[in-house]
Chains A and B, each alone.
Chain A
Amino acid sequence: MSDATPELLSWDSRARRVVTVYVPLACFLLVLLFPFYWMTITAFKPNGELLDYKQNNPFWISSPTLDNIRKLLFDTEYPRWLMTTMGVAFGATAIALVASVLAAYAIQRLRFKGSKWVGLAIYLAYLVPPSILFIPLAQVVFEFGLFDSPMALVLTYPTFLIPFCTWLLIGYFKSIPYELEECALIDGASRLQILRRITLPLAVPGLISAGIFAFTLSWNEFIYALAFISSSEKKTVPVAILTELVQGDVYQWGALMAGALLGSLPVAIFYSFFVEYYVSSLTGAVKE
């Protein structure tokens, strides 16, 4: 009796742990991942199966098909939209990174009078959401003659990328010992040489984090792309799927889901390579 008690206790605590930790966690994972599963399975279902739950188990595909993907790739301008989105995302990320590195270096390392205020102003810029800016910005884009051009997106996306990247990089620069730069200064290196040869190589993890973040944010952007681009072939993937594939009353769910899946894949792949950077930059930025 007495030696059964600890065993009972440990079994009891294990059961308790299953109920309080593993079951809720499994439910969370199920709910968070289900839409992706559903998206994937719909993308590979033939139309007959898609709209008939009585004959087929909706959770599985009995005869998978690539029809939806084929239709998407060859009957629509999907590859073109994908290329545009890719170009815009890389362009905006490059501009944002260059501008943020320089700004963060000036604010954190050159320490001029009022650098704190410039930092605060850039932080405040992050708090201005695109949804209050897009109407006047449409006007500005129109004045610059950039309306209906992907260039408009490349130039406007940095407005929400720069504040975030700058703050992230300020945090990284702060972690690099200032003594290294002082040594180089005494050795006669110019400021730009120091930035290029010493600070930047040491801040590579920060640059990667900022780059991934900027890339995913530009890939996901919607409202500017919706407001500034009107011709079909210049649209980005999220906008094009919603405005070009959704037409009439009969929705092509298979093609829609295939489009959503293919549109999410590049970010997901990109993300999976750099998960650790991504998580650390997300949490770092919040803690900053």
Chain B
Amino acid sequence: MNQAEALAWVAPRTQSNWLQRLLDWKPALVILCLTPALGLLLVFLTYPLGLGIWMSFTDTQLGKPGVWVGLENFQYLLTDRVFLNAVWFTIFYTAAATIGKFALGLWLALLLNQHLPFKSLIRAIILLPWITPTVLSAIAFWWIYDPQFSIVSYVVVDVLHWRTKYFDFLGTPWPARWSLIAANVWRGIPFVAISLLAGLQTISPSLYEAAMLDGASSWQRFRRITAPLLMPILAVVLTFSVLFTFADFQLVYAITRGGPINSTHLMATLAFQRGIPGAALGEGAAIAVAMIPFLVLATLFSYFAIGNRKWQQGGSDE
């Protein structure tokens, strides 16, 4: 590029129009960049969140604006056995499914952390349950749980002869609850396993070598090296898992729709049933709002877990 060309290249830049000048002024650029994201989030997330809280104090019906009724919705819900049962089952479902997911997911992560042939292929296959639409895999589970044609019953009764009667997976409350928890654990294992595997891979092998030289048993190595170093990532994954299991909707809606006799309603499915087909938007909103305290607890836990991690690593800001 000779001198004349260089000058010609610079020239158009100097006479920029007002739009370009505005875009080079930082505050304007910041506002411009943040508007799409924050705008969408404010209109479709923050506003509905506030509106939901307000609606929970009204008797809004579908297509009819409501009037303020104070705590009436909540007072009614506290006497409603179906709601109390849903709260109880939501907590039980979250606890049981989380324990199952993390026990099995951690085991799978430890297995995958070994030297294996076709490791990346196995890892890719393992994520399949997590990427397929929940409702579609739930339908497969529904078919597996069929009272007459369940393949599990077929294997246990007709092939192995361990039982004489087919399982009634979804017909009675307790089997239905455990069936839902099993489906949730099945879907959750891949996420937990792959996330924890990422955490395991950051642990330096030299720590294990040193421990082995000192004669530590495999349990001691797990207890004293793996567990503490995995704790920060475990806390984050745990928070997300608890949060999304607690707010689960799809599995239950697809497999049992809250039945038999309302025994498997989660708070989210009950809110949907009362709010949309039942048209009682105010009451549905109240059920959804009742989930918020639990979610806030989980979020605070996440915040402090991340805060602690930064502190542990000795990092100040980043």
**Contacts from A to B (Cβ < 8 Å):** 21, 24-25, 28-29, 31-33, 35-36, 38-39, 42, 50-51, 53, 58, 95, 98-100, 102-103, 105-106, 110, 112, 118, 122, 124-125, 127-140, 155-156, 158-159, 162-163, 166, 174, 188, 190-192, 216, 219-220, 222-223, 226-227, 237-239, 241-242, 253, 256-257, 259-261, 263-264, 267-268, 271-272, 275-276, 278-279, 282-283, 286-287
Q: In the bound complex, do residue A286 and residue B49 qualify as a contact, i.e. CB atoms below 8 Å apart?
A: no
Q: In the bound complex, do residue A159 and residue B41 qualify as a contact, i.e. CB atoms below 8 Å apart?
A: yes
| Residue in B131, B158, B244 with the greatest tally of chain A CB atoms within 10 Å | B131
CB distance from A123 to the nearest CB of B (A): 9
B52 surroundings in chain A (CB, below 8 A): 132-133, 135-136
A-B contact pairs, 13 of them (CB 8 A): A24-B111, A38-B140, A42-B143, A125-B41, A128-B295, A131-B272, A138-B276, A192-B29, A220-B135, A226-B276, A260-B136, A278-B131, A279-B123
* Chain B residue with Cβ nearest A143: B51
Q: In the bound complex, do residue A128 and residue B49 qualify as a contact, i.e. CB atoms below 8 Å apart?
A: yes
Q: Give Cα A50–Cα B148 distance, bound, in whole angstroms.
A: 11
Q: Is B26 among interface residues, defined by CB-CB distance under 8 A?
A: yes
B34 surroundings in chain A (CB, below 8 A): 102-103, 106, 118
Q: Is B92 among interface residues, defined by CB-CB distance under 8 A?
A: no
Q: In the bound complex, do residue B10 and residue A267 qualify as a contact, i.e. CB atoms below 8 Å apart?
A: no
Q: Give Cα A133–Cα B301 distance, bound, in whole angstroms.
A: 22
* Chain A residue with Cβ nearest B285: A135
**Contacts from B to A (Cβ < 8 Å):** 10, 13, 16, 20, 23-24, 26-27, 29-30, 32-34, 36-38, 40-41, 43-49, 51-52, 55, 60, 104, 107-108, 111-112, 114, 116, 120, 122-129, 131-137, 139-141, 143-144, 146, 148-149, 151, 154, 158, 186, 189-191, 194-195, 197-199, 202, 233, 236-237, 240, 243-244, 246-250, 253-254, 268, 271-272, 275-276, 281, 284-285, 288-289, 291-292, 295, 298-299, 302, 318
Q: In the bound complex, do residue A129 and residue B26 qualify as a contact, i.e. CB atoms below 8 Å apart?
A: no
A159 surroundings in chain B (CB, below 8 A): 40-41, 44-45
Q: In the bound complex, do residue A222 and residue B249 qualify as a contact, i.e. CB atoms below 8 Å apart?
A: yes
**For chain A, what secondary structure do more than half of its interface residues adopt (helix, strand, loop), or is it mixed?**
helix
Q: In the bound complex, do residue B37 and residue A103 qualify as a contact, i.e. CB atoms below 8 Å apart?
A: yes
Count A-B pairs with CB separation below 8 Å: 282
Pick the residue among A25, A53, A98, A259 that contacts B158 (CB under 8 A). Answer: A53
Q: Give Cα A103–Cα B268 distance, bound, in whole angstroms.
A: 31
Q: In the bound complex, do residue A190 and residue B20 qualify as a contact, i.e. CB atoms below 8 Å apart?
A: yes
A21 surroundings in chain B (CB, below 8 A): 111, 114, 116
* Chain B residue with Cβ nearest A140: B48
* Chain B residue with Cβ nearest A129: B247
Given contacts A219-B133, A222-B249, A278-B127, contact A287 B154 (CB under 8 A): no
Pick the residue among A103, A118, A131, A257 that contacts B288 (CB under 8 A). Answer: A131
Given contacts A125-B41, A162-B40, A286-B198, contact A32 B292 (CB under 8 A): no
Given contacts A32-B128, A36-B128, contact A99 B275 (CB under 8 A): no
A130 surroundings in chain B (CB, below 8 A): 247
B151 surroundings in chain A (CB, below 8 A): 38, 58
B128 surroundings in chain A (CB, below 8 A): 32-33, 36, 268
Please give 12 more A-B residue pairs, beta carbons under 8 A apart, in addition to A257-B140, A283-B195: A32-B186, A39-B140, A51-B148, A99-B40, A102-B37, A106-B29, A135-B288, A139-B48, A140-B48, A192-B29, A253-B149, A263-B136
Q: In the bound complex, do residue B198 and residue A287 qualify as a contact, i.e. CB atoms below 8 Å apart?
A: yes
